[in-house]
Amino acid sequence: MAINYVVCVKQVPDTKRITGEAMKEDGTVNRAALPAVFNPEDLNALEAALDVRDRCGGTVTVVTMGPPSACEVLRTSLCLGADRAILLTDRKAAASDTLATSYILSCAVRKLSADMVFCGRQAIDGDTAQVGPQLAEKLSMPLVTYVEELMDVTDAGFRARRNVGNGWEVVECRLPALLTVMDTANTPRPPAGRRIMKYKKARSAMEVAAEVDQADPDATDADKAVETEKRIDALRQRGLLIEQWNLAEIGADLSWCGRDGSPTKVHRIQAVVLAGGEYHELPPTDEGVAELIGELIQDHTIG
């Protein structure tokens, strides 16, 4: 079967290891100051797609929207087994909220004529879980959220077990469709050594241009352009070129992208202030504990 699988992934700041300067003054995220990782549940989404492809055939295309540095998650995807990787990058996409993001992704997914779209349930930077459902609506595709198991995939449809919080249910759905995948769905495979050796060399056009510039900063622009083109051609021939699309190339209406396309605006960002009340510290000794328990019994909190 030639099912066309598209997986939407995101490079996210590692929210467990946040340092200072995490936010810019305008309230948007200062990604440069943060270690970036592959959003964990997007790895589960990719694994689900790779698993179905391995069983049923077809091709897996991974799409990410982000700055040029987001190529890192695409390289990882290729190492894990993706057939094709696309970077959606455009300055005009900056400051997009979930609605604008899902609109931009929908333009790219439509261009790819996807049969099955996989998203992670949510990203750890925002935890909103909104882009998957919004993308399904934009694509007029059935939405199957919280998928834990995928069964009986054919080019007509599939069955999925969904975790609905207070239990689970099995639903049947036709293709095309969009699924959001839970972390409990699978254990992402480790990358194959052979693929790592090959795909660690994958680059986007922007990355190639930056490398050429770095290699010989004093060369003329014309020479740099020639060298860049040469390297891009070589990568393309070896299947190592990460495709790069901008908003014009996916036919996106700019009024629905970036800040203009985002109905939600930041009113205020506050550092977290702790409201301290009356505080009583007790030593970790028998006496300290006895005093504490005594007080709590005295005021009828316990006992």
Partner 1 sequence: MIDVNRDGEVWVFAEQEDGRLSDVPLELLGKAQELAGRLGVLVGAVLLGEKVAPLARILTAHGADKVYLVEDPVLAHYQATSYSHVICRLIEQHKPQICLYGATPLGRDLAPTIASAMRCGLTADCTDLQIGDHKIARTGEVHEKLMFQIRPAFGGNIIATIVNFDRWPQMATVREGVMRMPEPEEDRQGEVVESAADLGDLGLPLKLIETHRREKKVNLKAARIIVAGGAGVGSRENFQQIWNLANCLGAAVGGSRAAVDLGYVDHDHQIGQTGTTVRPALYIACGLSGAVQHRAGMAESAKILAINTDRDAPILSIAHYGIIGDLNEVIPKMIKTIRRGAAAGVEN
Which residues from 283-302 bind partner 1, rule CB under 8 A?
283-286, 288-290, 292-297, 301-302
- Provide φ and ψ at 55, rounded to 5°: -85, -40
- 28 versus 192: smaller Cβ distance to partner 1: 28
Binding partner 1 (rule: CB under 8 A), the pick from 67, 68, 142, 191 is 142
How far lies 195's CA from each of 75, 76, 82, 239, in Å?
10, 10, 10, 12
**Pairs from 169-172 (Cβ < 8 Å, separation ≥ 24):** 171/144
> How far apart are CB 171 and partner 1 at their closest, in Å?
5
Judged by CB under 8 A, the stretch of 57-65, 130-138, 218-226, 246-254 that binds partner 1 is 130-138
DSSP SS3 for 279: coil
- Is residue 112 part of the contact set for partner 1 (CB under 8 A)? no
Residues ≥6 apart with Cβ < 8 Å to 123? 10, 12, 39, 41, 42, 131
How far lies 17's CA from each of 12, 68, 116, in Å?
12, 22, 34
- 165 versus 217: smaller Cβ distance to partner 1: 165
- Provide φ and ψ at 283, rounded to 5°: -75, 155
- Is residue 25 part of the contact set for partner 1 (CB under 8 A)? no
- Is residue 268 part of the contact set for partner 1 (CB under 8 A)? yes
State the number of binding residues for partner 1 (CB under 8 A).
83
Judged by CB under 8 A, the stretch of 52-60, 76-84, 85-93, 123-131 that binds partner 1 is 123-131
Q: Quote the CA–CA distance of 69 and 61 in Å, as a whole number.
A: 19
Let me know: does 9 contact 120? Beta carbons within 8 Å: yes
- 137 versus 233: smaller Cβ distance to partner 1: 137
What is the contact mask toward partner 1 in residues 66 to 105, using x (rule: CB under 8 A)? -------------------------------xxx--x---
Which residues, 155 to 194, sit near partner 1 by CB under 8 A? 159, 163-174, 177
Judged by CB under 8 A, the stretch of 77-85, 112-120, 215-223, 269-277 that binds partner 1 is 269-277
CA angle 42/44/49 to nearest 5° reads 95
Judged by CB under 8 A, the stretch of 47-55, 83-91, 193-201, 261-269 that binds partner 1 is 261-269
